[in-house]
Amino acid sequence: MLKTHAPLLLGLTGVLSLLPLSLGAQQINRTILPVPEPQPPTITELDARNAKAPPRFEVKAPKGAPNVVVVLLDDIGFGQSSAFGGPCKMQTAEKLAAAGLRYNDFHTTALCSPTRTALLTGRNHHVNNAGAIMELATAFPGNTGIRPQSVAPVAEMLRLNGYSTAAFGKYHETPPWEVSVSGPLDRWPTHSGFDKFYGFIGGET
């Protein structure tokens, strides 16, 4: 089962666990992922024609759960967008910010791959083995380019909680020796919590 110790991800799990989904007399425990399937009730009816099947177990996003949209732009400073008071008019970003949350204490690594993997996991980029961009990975700890199985992407946590997930555009979190169709596919977007992906795996088109 997938467990996480990252503060950001624990916070997300905490929010979701406050919105349990009832299944008969039982409730879904969202503090452990994948969500464990509840014990089905004992059926004592001997005549199959009269036996009633229990409700089908299905994990869905809790009622009232918010939509989650993460937008990451390369090579743009914190204060450049008009959504944060900058000179570059970005009306769509302003509308999203007005209807959502503004965060002002996220620290980039000044590189795309490490920043992206830190944002999408809530972990330090060295914990994710992304000390540099994927093409500069080495065998040194913290820079292997191989995201550990112990690191849970936010998208995977959302998917396991019943969200539909998708990623679009530049991904650049897959080491270059894993981008061919022969795989392995463990660090491809569709194996990192995203149901669908439309974009390019590497850092260049």
**What SS3 class is residue 37?**
coil
**Spatial distance between the Cα atoms of 16 and 86, rounded to a whole number of angstroms:** 34
**Spatial distance between the Cα atoms of 5 and 7, rounded to a whole number of angstroms:** 6
Residue spans of alpha helices (H) in 147-186: 154-160
**Spatial distance between the Cα atoms of 29 and 1, rounded to a whole number of angstroms:** 13
**Spatial distance between the Cα atoms of 62 and 56, rounded to a whole number of angstroms:** 16
* Catalytic residue IDs: 112, 172
Tokens 């000390």: give the residue: 131
**What SS3 class is residue 118?**
helix
Report the b/e string of 44-74 with b at 16+ CB within 10 A.
eeeeeeeeeeeeeeebebbeeeeeeeeeeee
